[in-house]
Structure 1
Amino acid sequence: MGIRSYFYKDIAVDLGTANTLIIQDDKIVVDEPSIIAVDKSSNKMIAVGKVAMQMHEKTHDTIKTIRPLKDGVIADYHAAELMIQGMIKMLHKKKFNFFTPFFNKIIICIPSGTTDVEKRAVRDSAAHTGGKEVYMIYEPIAAAIGIGINIADPIGCMIVDIGGGTTEIAIISLAGIACDQSIKIAGHAFNKDILDYMRKQHSLLIGERTAEQIKITVGAVWTDLKNPPADYSVHGKDLMTGIPKTVTVNYREITASLEESAVKIDNAVLKALEMVPPELASDIYKNGIHLTGGGALLRGLNKRLHSLTNLPVHIAEDPLQAVVRGTGIALKNIEAYRSVLMS
């Protein structure tokens, strides 16, 4: 291996609202929550990723946790830079020991509804980590590449990518997005729905992490499940007495709590389908809808969308990693995918 190829590495980044993943040399080398902890007095980062998440909602007066991304885009520019730098340092420790590599190319994925100002913020944050060339790719296109679709074919495919901050719905053909919808209803909105439900129905105050765990354990958007999850015990604080207590919930309760947000995703899918040209509609009728992102794991979502559209609905084999794997493939074959990359 030449010295240049050793020190000048290329990376692909899925900078998500909930999690950030980095691929290098076809391997996922970083998979961490998109959060940092900082010292309030010095504003210096003291933890990033999983370690910072362990501190979340448990901090005292001298420490605060920050999620730099909101609704799929950078909300706190300084914190985003610190987070990306911190995660790249993890990569350095794993692969380079005492040496800090440079990056020839960085490809980072962004929501399809990103504005020019938001694109510039992403580009600048990535460039400040040492990237010589920074490219961006839209998340639905990266997801399609990641699940094995040849996006250059003149065949329409429909991607519904439900992440932490946004749901991206796109009809892709000839290496472009023919029509799309991007809504700010996704994993974090579901967490908030659960948090609000527990407060209103059970007078139980819970935190964001507990709401996330409820969603993972018993979350569903369809009441007629063949293999329903077992009831789940939720620990929180009684709003009336302030004393810790436990409440048991079942998946049907959580389905009801998520209904309003699920309907918004339904409507966005229908709106995207209404925009589809007739010939592409024929392709989608044959090929169906492909679900990616963490939201694809919500129990019954495929049945719900099939009932709504009468189309086949396919859940990606590894929906959480579809976007970053597609970004990694684009990085490896950059000339072949140059038409879908933005600089």
Structure 2
Amino acid sequence: MLLSRPVWTAGQVSRVAVRPGLSVATPELIFVPKQIGIDLGTANVLVFLRGRGIVINEPSVVAISAKDGKVKAVGLEARNMLGREPRETIEVVRPMRDGVIADYVVTQEMLRYFINKSCGRFSLVRPEVMICVPAGVTGVERRAVRDAALAAGARKAFLISEPLAAAIGARVPVADPSGNMIIDIGGGTTEVAVISLNGIVVARSLRVGGNRFDEAIANYI
């Protein structure tokens, strides 16, 4: 007797699940866009994937071919090329400077690499991305970050000020009517902000950070 394969409705397919321990992706995991938070810093890039936590913590450096300008490596792999490859063939650059984009094309490729690495090969839809930016950036600089994220493969791109993101991450009661001062010292910028009622009351962004501190210490020694 021939057995016909059962026909499933779309509703039944959407409810398919696998037993614990199996590494098979369900339709929910495949077709629901992943939500990613990116701290696009001058020194390092951190990527937070909702449901998994921080999945990437790598230097914000890119290795570029001096011959044709193509990206050869990003992050840890690119940093490991420092001093090992001739400068005539490989140039290692930092596309971010003082918390903002210094090289748009290279930043776009760096974002594409980190987005693809964090999403994995089972994701069939582009992710929703939120990126931290300094509180003192201009409208043009904010637009450049958003456009770079969209060009790098994000389905939607949102921006959040670094002091507000730091406060939420530290579980500061940002919704309270009282003020909370946040000081965020990064590699390229230092952010000082007073936060109240889910917003920034006043903020100051200094384009001096840990990198300058390191240089000053090295010069003194």
TM-score, structure 1 normalization: 0.54
Instruction: Say if 2:18 is the partner of 1:22.
Output: no
Q: Indicate the larger mover: 163-172 or 79-88.
A: 79-88
Q: Helix, strand or coil for the counterpart of 1:90? A: helix
- After TM superposition, give the deviation of residue 57 of structure 1 in Å: 4.5
| Kept in 2: contact 1:102–1:130 (CA 8 A) | no
Aligned residues: 194
User: Could you report, residue by residue, the CA deviation over 1:83-125 in whole angstroms, capped at 9, with x for unpaired residues?
Assistant: 1112223224xx43xx454334211110000101110110011
Q: Tell me what 1:197 maps to.
A: 220
Counterpart residue type for residue 48 of structure 2: I
Change (3 A) 1:86 1:72: same
Other-structure match for 2:93: 66
**1:11 matched to which residue of 2?**
36
TM-score (norm: length of structure 2): 0.82
Are 1:102 and 1:131, in contact at CA under 8 Å, matched by a contact in 2? Answer: no
1:5-41 deviation digits (Å, cap 9, x = unpaired): 4242111111111110111124111111000101111
- 1:33-71 CA-partner distances (Å, limit 9, x unpaired): 000101111211111111111223443111000101000
Q: Specify every segment of 5 or more residues in structure 1 that has no aligned partner in the other structure, as ranges.
A: 199-343
Q: Summarize deviations over 1:220-268 as a string: whole Å, max 9, x none.
A: xxxxxxxxxxxxxxxxxxxxxxxxxxxxxxxxxxxxxxxxxxxxxxxxx
Change (3 A) 1:53 1:143: same
2:103 paired residue number: 76
**Residue 156 of structure 1 corresponds to which residue in structure 2?**
179
User: For residue 153 of structure 2, what is the aligned residue in structure 1?
Assistant: 130
Find the aligned partners of 1:87 and 1:104 in 2 and give their Cα distance. 12
**Higher relative contact order (CA closer than 8 Å, sequence separation 6+):** 1
Match of 2:117 among 90, 95, 107: 90
> Which residues of structure 2 form unaligned runs of 5+?
1-16, 18-25
Write the distance in 2 (CA, Å) between the matches of 1:163 and 1:178. 21
CA distance in 2, matches of 1:150, 1:101: 37
